[in-house]
């Protein structure tokens, strides 16, 4: 890049940077101006509220004094009238009443005679012993209503004092000289009516933002003319009255513009001075830098043998002589480095060829891929197993869609400390599922992060594991689940999560008789026959297990007593049907069962079912033995 281009960049930088800084300064300055105005607004509103509250305390004190003095007169209206005249000389007091418990005024000052207060809520509350305050307005003025109960010596309310004060003076109190220009203050009642010489409702968009229950608040709103205002309001404790002051945001913006103008002027002076200095400095270094650029261009073009002569270095400016010497040293180093790099590249190509040959001969599946799954290399075993011609055109996550999320999660766990992880994956090819143990590790190729996956076929190991697991949980003779599996499932069901749970204990009758008369092979056939009938008559969710020579047990999750009884009836019917074959061994099974709701004790539940089984065996043992022997004799006779 030329010096002129560098100069353009510097100039652009010098233009953009001040603009960014000015923007940040403007935002900060406006916020400071706005915050300062808001703080002044809050302070003035609070001061005015305190001034008005102090003003109103004079009248609450007066009515308290009237109430106390009237209480001493024992409702003597002449004395009360005298007290009114002595204590009520304030010109702001519009009316003063003493109202008897019947709701009519008996003593008045400046007001109409004998008026009714029966429908007035303040009167009702005062008769209950509560003091009251209320602001009311008519078309011309606003008034403060204060009520105070009067008590007899027996603490019974004997009447109510009402004081009505014209609030004209409040207008003067809130319109004192404002520190902020464009500020206005007004009073409003809890029903959002603005109080003043002319009553008017508060604008709807302002009224919705004021929550009287909060006691105070700072809000922004837009009036009917579209102007934006910041308003702070605060209510008076125990009064149906609030004060609010607002300021036009345009006033804040005008203050901000005045302050910002000073900042801009100062900034322009600094900016222009810096720009002039930068241009002068760039011109001074343009010529020597152009010379160094020409030398660098030669290196770029591959001319690493170009050297700067010693005579030229000696005649160059003193500041550039170390740079020219450094250039000579750099060109010599680059030439040597390029020569070594060429030799290493040839050696690396030979090494990579040997590595590729080793990888291609592997029987394990091997591939390399980028973070997004794009395959960059794979061996022949990988291509052949997945039927790929050029694996580099494929994405590993798309090829292994079912396991893609698991592989991605595993890759995210790899780091400099954990550089490889393994996972077992199953692939289905031609309707046959094969299992592989995959190991994924991080590798770096040309300084770029890649991943390598190696899949080792563990199909034979998985088959052996499955066969061993099957044998460990199944009976060799019948193929039913064995005692070990039964014990494990019985423990699991005892938690009560499968309630109600039932158990059936079944014992094949007369197995010893068959073994003694026909041999153990026939006895085994009788056991197998019993196991098939048991397995055929229970649900898929039930667990049928052989736990001894002639002993079977069935676990039935979510099976109440009615369910067990129905299943036993079905089993008995299947046994009767099977025994109709006259040339077959007679099958008789003794059955006992038990049921539990919720968690249960395994030993107790099994013992209950086992006891019932023995009782059942005892009830038909002799008859079953007689029939079994008769069948055996027929079988022996037919063979002869």
Alpha carbon 240 to its chain's center: 44
Q: From its phi and psi, is residue 103 left (phi > 0), alpha (psi between -120 and 50) or beta?
A: left
| Residue 287 in this model has a pLDDT that exceeds 60 | no
Residues 140-167 pLDDT 10s: 677 778 888 988 877 888 888 888 877 7
d(CA 455, CA 438): 4
So what's the pLDDT on residue 182?
Answer: 47
pLDDT of residue 354: 61
Q: Contact 129/178 with Cβ under 8 angstroms?
A: no
Angstrom distance (rounded) from CA 453 to CA 456: 10
Computed over every residue of the chain, the mean pLDDT equals: 79
486 touches 568 (CB < 8 A): no
Question: Given pLDDT bands bounded at 50, 70 and 90, which one contains residue 640?
Answer: low
Q: Residues 312-349: pLDDT tens digits?
A: 777 776 766 777 777 777 777 777 777 777 777 776 76
**Picking from 2-11, 79-88, 252-261, 559-568, which range would have the lowest pLDDT averaged per residue?**
2-11
For residue 104, give the DSSP letter: B
Asked whether residue 585 carries a pLDDT value surpassing 80, the answer given is yes
185: tokens are 């203050």
- Which 8-state DSSP code applies to residue 178? P
Residue 567: strand, helix, or coil: helix
The confidence band for 197, taking pLDDT boundaries of 50, 70 and 90, is very low
Q: What residues have CB less than 8 Å from 373, skipping those under 6 apart?
A: 395, 396, 397, 398, 404
At 397, is the pLDDT very low, low, confident or very high (cuts 50, 70, 90)? confident
pLDDT single digits (tens) 403-461? 888 888 888 888 777 778 888 887 776 667 778 888 888 887 666 678 888 888 887 77
The helix (run of H) or strand (run of E) holding residue 272 is helix 249-300
For the record, the structure tokens of 380 come out as 């022949």
Token duo for residue 504: 């059936």
DSSP notation for 20-49:
HHHHHHHHHHHHHHHHHHHHHHHHHHHHHH
219: Cα separation from own chain's centroid: 31
Question: Would you state the pLDDT for residue 198?
Answer: 47
User: Strand, helix or coil at 613?
Assistant: helix
Task: Flag the least confident range among 71-75, 84-88, 506-510, 593-597.
Answer: 84-88
Q: Model confidence at 177, in pLDDT bands (50, 70, 90)?
A: very low
Structure tokens at 342: 């060429």
Residue 178 has pLDDT above 70, yes or no: no
> CA distances (Å), 621 to each of 131, 254, 517, 565, in order?
97, 111, 18, 21
Residue 360 has pLDDT above 60, yes or no: no
Instruction: Report the pLDDT value the prediction gives residue 455, as an integer from 0 to 100.
Output: 85
Average pLDDT over residues 557-572: 92
Is the dihedral angle over the CA atoms 580, 581, 583, 587 positive or is it negative? Answer: negative
* pLDDT tier, 563 (very low <50, low <70, confident <90, very high otherwise): very high
Burial of 278: CB neighbours in 10 Å, binned 0-12, 13-18, 19+: middle
* φ/ψ bin of 114: left (φ > 0), alpha (ψ from -120 to 50), beta (otherwise): left
Strands 183-188, 142-151: pairing kind: unpaired
Pairing status of strand 501-508 against strand 432-445: unpaired
User: What pLDDT does 11 receive?
Assistant: 66
Mean pLDDT is highest, among 225-239, 245-259, 291-305, 601-615, for 601-615
Residue 3 pLDDT greater than 60, yes or no:
no
C-alpha dihedral sign at 571, 576, 579, 581: negative
Count CA atoms within 13 Å of residue 106 on its CB side.
Answer: 16
pLDDT given for residue 260 in this prediction:
81
What residues contact 638, with CB distance under 8 A and at least 6 apart?
583
Predicted local confidence at residue 502, as pLDDT: 92
Look at residue 595 and tell me whether its pLDDT is greater than 70: yes
Terminal Cα-to-Cα distance of the chain (whole angstroms)? 115
DSSP secondary structure letter of residue 139: S
pLDDT at 180: 47
Q: Predicted confidence band at 119 (pLDDT cuts at 50, 70, 90)?
A: confident
Structure tokens at 579: 């025994």
In contact, 213 and 201? CB cutoff 8 Å: no
> Regarding beta strands 228-235 and 242-248, do their DSSP bridges make them parallel or antiparallel, or are they unpaired?
antiparallel
**CA-wise closest residue to 598 among 565, 558, 562:** 558
pLDDT at 594: 93
Q: Per-residue pLDDT averaged across 284-307, rounded?
A: 66
In the structure, what pLDDT confidence band is assigned to residue 171 with cuts at 50, 70 and 90? low
- pLDDT, one tens digit per residue, over 449-489 is 788 888 888 877 777 777 777 777 788 888 888 898 998 99
Task: Give the least confident one: 20-34, 47-61, 170-184, 415-429.
Answer: 170-184
Mean pLDDT of 549-561: 92
Tokens describing residue 202: 């508060």
pLDDT tens-digit profile of 480-529?
A: 888 989 989 999 989 888 889 999 999 998 888 888 888 888 888 989 99
Question: Who contacts 384 (Cβ-Cβ below 8 Å, separation ≥6)?
Answer: none
């Amino acid at each position: 890049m030329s010096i002129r281009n560098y100069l353009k960049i510097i100039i652009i930088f010098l233009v953009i940077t001040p603009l960014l800084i000015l923007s940040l300064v403007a935002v900060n300055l406006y916020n400071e101006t706005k915050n300062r105005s808001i703080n002044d607004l809050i302070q003035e509103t609070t001061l005015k509220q305190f001034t008005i509250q102090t003003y109103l305390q004079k009248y609450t004190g007066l009515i308290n004094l009237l109430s106390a003095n009237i209480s001493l007169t024992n409702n003597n209206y002449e004395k009360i009238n005298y007290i009114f005249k002595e204590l009520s000389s304030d010109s702001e007091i519009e009316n003063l009443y003493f109202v008897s418990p019947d709701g009519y005024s008996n003593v008045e000052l400046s007001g109409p005679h004998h008026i009714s207060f029966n429908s007035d809520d303040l009167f009702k509350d005062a008769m209950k012993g509560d003091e009251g305050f209320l602001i009311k307005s008519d078309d011309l003025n606003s008034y403060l209503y204060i009520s105070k109960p009067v008590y007899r010596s027996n603490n019974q309310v004997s009447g109510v004092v009402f004081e009505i004060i014209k609030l004209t003076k409040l207008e003067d109190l809130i319109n004192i000289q404002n520190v902020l220009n464009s500020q206005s203050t007004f009073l409003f009642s809890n029903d959002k009516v603005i109080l003043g010489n002319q009553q008017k409702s508060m604008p709807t968009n302002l009224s919705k933002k004021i929550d009287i229950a909060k006691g105070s608040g700072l809000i922004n709103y837009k009036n009917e003319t579209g102007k934006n205002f910041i308003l702070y309001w605060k209510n008076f404790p125990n009064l149906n009255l609030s004060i609010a002051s607002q300021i036009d945001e345009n006033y804040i913006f005008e203050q901000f513009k005045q302050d910002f103008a000073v900042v801009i002027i100062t900034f322009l002076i600094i900016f222009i001075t810096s720009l002039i200095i930068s241009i002068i400095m760039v011109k001074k270094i343009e010529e020597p830098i152009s010379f160094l650029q020409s030398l660098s261009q030669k290196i770029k073009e591959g001319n690493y043998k170009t050297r700067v002569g010693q005579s030229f270095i000696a005649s160059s400016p003193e500041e550039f002589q170390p740079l020219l010497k450094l250039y000579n040293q750099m060109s010599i180093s680059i030439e040597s480095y390029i020569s070594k790099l060429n030799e290493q590249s040839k050696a690396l190509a030979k090494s990579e060829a040997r590595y590729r040959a080793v990888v291609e001969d592997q029987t394990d599946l091997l591939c390399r891929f980028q973070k997004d799954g794009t395959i960059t290399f794979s061996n022949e075993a990988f291509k052949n197993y997945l039927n790929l011609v050029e694996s580099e055109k494929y994405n590993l996550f798309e090829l292994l869609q079912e396991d893609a999320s698991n592989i991605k999660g595993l890759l995210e766990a790899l780091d400099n400390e954990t550089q490889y992880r393994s996972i077992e994956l199953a692939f289905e090819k031609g309707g046959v599922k094969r299992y592989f143990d995959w190991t994924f590790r991080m590798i770096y190729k040309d300084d770029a992060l890649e991943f390598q996956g190696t899949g080792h076929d563990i199909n034979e190991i998985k088959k052996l594991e499955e066969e061993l697991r099957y044998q460990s949980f199944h009976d060799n003779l019948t193929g039913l689940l064995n005692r070990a599996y039964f014990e494990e499932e019985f423990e699991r069901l005892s938690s009560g999560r499968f309630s109600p749970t039932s158990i059936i204990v079944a014992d094949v009758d007369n197995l010893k008789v068959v073994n003694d008369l026909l041999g153990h092979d026939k006895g085994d056939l009788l056991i197998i026959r019993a196991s098939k009938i048991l397995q055929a008559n229970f649900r898929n969710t039930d667990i049928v297990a052989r736990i001894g020579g002639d002993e079977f047990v069935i676990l039935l999750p979510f099976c109440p007593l009615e369910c067990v009884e129905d299943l036993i009836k079905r089993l008995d019917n299947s046994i009767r049907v099977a025994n109709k074959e006259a040339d077959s061994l007679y099958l008789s099974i003794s059955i006992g069962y038990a049921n539990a709701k919720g968690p249960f004790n395994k030993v107790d539940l099994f013992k209950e079912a086992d006891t019932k089984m023995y009782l059942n065996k005892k009830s038909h043992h002799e008859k079953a033995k007689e029939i079994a022997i008769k069948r055996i004799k027929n079988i022996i006779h037919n063979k002869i």
